[in-house]
């Protein structure tokens, strides 16, 4: 397997700066989502990929983060000898993935860096080895991430360039506006806007938050925090937007399915708490806007407010329904 799985001269773990540091707390906190019930959204994708991948195949796990999908694939199909190349723009997440898979020959890692001069991230074909590009990938997975891409056409065009003709692409997200979604199903990131609105109501109503009320009256201050929130949680786009973009990129969609996923409110809170600056950063001021870290008591107030707001948004229920959309595409000649 060591001699034949990866291309000649391919290095699984490049000796780069991100691979030398310590594992950071943010990555560890994010990685706990693997244990959340709503991460059952990966089960269908794991099954789809497992049915498709063959011995000797190589899969690009694009925006693979801390390696949650890769870990589930290897666990589900231990008898298959295919490689998973995790590509991600977060050195913190990749460093944790390295901790998990340092001794796993079927996993390799690559960092997508930010190009300051061009104000963009590397495209995937700009971070892969020439031998890998010459071979081409047999498949690509993009889970819980496609809704995050500002440069979607360029990203998809790069996917096309690194895939073999006929290669399959497996995409899924809970942040696609699917016309088949049930009336009682949430789009996962749209909950954030409702939590924000409920949080403002609670600040106006409850005396414990009285010191934050002047923030709500400062229109420019709130406008800046609204813009920041939309950077953390991008506006939701229609399913047709993605289908059209994939078609233009030479990755026509073969199959679209959807699934209702039940999420626990407490687990969703634990995930959002990692990004409290993006959810209710106006409470005390977001560091990215005011230039200082929030005091400990402000962070505690943010968490308390988020819990109260989520209880109001979800009417005190312990769970809520979400809609996940799954697309299978094929790389055209």
SS3 of 264-284: the string is EHHHHHHHHHCCHHHHHCCCC
Query: 167 and 26 share a domain?
Result: yes
What Rg value do the Cα atoms of the chain yield, rounded?
21
* pLDDT score for 16: 94
Burial of 9 (0-12, 13-18, 19+ CB in 10 A): exposed
Query: 65 and 105 share a domain?
Result: yes
pTM exceeding 0.75: yes
* pLDDT score for 203: 98
Query: 37 and 149 share a domain?
Result: yes
The total of structural domains in the chain comes to 2
What element of type H or E holds 261? strand 253-264
* pLDDT score for 202: 98
Going by their DSSP bridges, the two strands 163-173 and 137-143 should be labelled as: parallel
Asked if residue 77 belongs to a domain, the reply is yes
Q: 116-123 — which CB contacts under 8 Å span 24+ positions?
A: 120/151, 120/154, 121/89, 121/151, 123/154, 123/155, 123/158
Q: Give me 280's structure tokens.
A: 């209710």
The CATH number that applies at residue 164 is 3.40.50.150
pLDDT truncated to tens, each residue of the chain (333 aa)?
444 799 999 999 999 999 998 999 888 888 888 888 899 999 999 999 999 999 999 999 999 999 999 999 999 999 999 999 999 999 999 999 999 999 999 999 999 999 999 999 999 999 999 999 999 999 999 999 999 998 999 999 999 999 999 999 999 999 999 999 999 999 999 999 999 999 999 999 999 999 999 999 999 999 999 999 999 999 999 999 999 999 999 999 999 999 999 999 999 999 999 999 999 999 999 999 999 999 999 999 999 999 999 999 999 999 999 999 999 999 998
Query: 73 and 31 share a domain?
Result: yes
Do the beta carbons of residue 261 and residue 319 sit within 8 Å? no
Do the beta carbons of residue 101 and residue 92 sit within 8 Å? no
Query: 62 and 152 share a domain?
Result: yes
Closest of 114, 51, 115, 111 to residue 85, by C-alpha = 111
Query: 198 and 165 share a domain?
Result: no
Asked if residue 325 belongs to a domain, the reply is no
Query: 103 and 210 share a domain?
Result: no
Do the beta carbons of residue 93 and residue 84 sit within 8 Å? no
Residue 297 and residue 289: Cα distance in Å, rounded? 19
Query: 214 and 120 share a domain?
Result: no
Query: 63 and 107 share a domain?
Result: yes
Query: 209 and 108 share a domain?
Result: no
Structural domain boundaries, residue 85: 17-173
Query: 80 and 190 share a domain?
Result: no
Residue 229 and residue 324: Cα distance in Å, rounded? 22
* pLDDT score for 2: 43
Query: 117 and 26 share a domain?
Result: yes
């Amino acid at each position: 397997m060591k001699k034949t799985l990866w291309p000649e001269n391919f290095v699984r773990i490049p000796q780069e700066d991100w691979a030398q540091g310590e594992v950071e707390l943010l990555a560890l906190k994010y990685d706990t989502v693997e244990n959340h019930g709503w991460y059952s959204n990966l089960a269908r994708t794991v099954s789809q990929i497992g049915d498709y991948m063959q011995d000797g195949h190589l899969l690009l796990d694009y925006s693979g983060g801390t390696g949650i999908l890769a870990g589930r694939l290897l666990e589900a199909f231990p008898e298959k000898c295919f490689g998973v190349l995790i590509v991600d723009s977060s050195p913190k997440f990749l460093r944790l993935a390295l901790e998990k898979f340092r001794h796993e020959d079927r996993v390799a890692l690559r960092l997508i860096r930010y190009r300051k001069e061009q104000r963009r991230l590397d495209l995937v074909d700009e971070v892969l080895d020439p031998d890998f590009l010459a071979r081409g990938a047999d498949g690509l997975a993009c889970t819980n991430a496609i809704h995050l891409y500002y440069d979607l056409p360029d990203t998809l065009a790069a996917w096309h360039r690194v895939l073999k003709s006929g290669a399959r692409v497996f995409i899924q997200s809970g942040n696609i506006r699917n016309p088949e979604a049930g009336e009682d199903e949430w789009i996962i990131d749209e909950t954030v806007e409702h939590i924000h609105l409920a949080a403002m109501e609670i600040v106006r109503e409850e005396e414990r938050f009285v010191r934050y009320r002047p923030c709500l009256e400062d229109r420019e201050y709130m406008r800046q925090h609204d813009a920041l929130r939309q950077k953390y949680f991008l506006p939701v786009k229609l399913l047709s937007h993605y289908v059209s973009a994939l078609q233009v990129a030479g990755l026509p969609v073969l199959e679209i399915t959807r699934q209702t996923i039940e999420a626990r409110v407490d687990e969703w809170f634990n995930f959002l708490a990692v990004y409290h600056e993006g959810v209710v950063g106006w409470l005390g001021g977001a560091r990215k806007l005011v230039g200082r870290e929030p005091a400990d008591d402000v962070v505690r107030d943010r968490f308390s407010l988020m819990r109260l707001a989520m209880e109001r948004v979800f009417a005190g229920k312990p769970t809520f329904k979400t809609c996940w959309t799954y697309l299978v595409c094929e790389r055209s000649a």
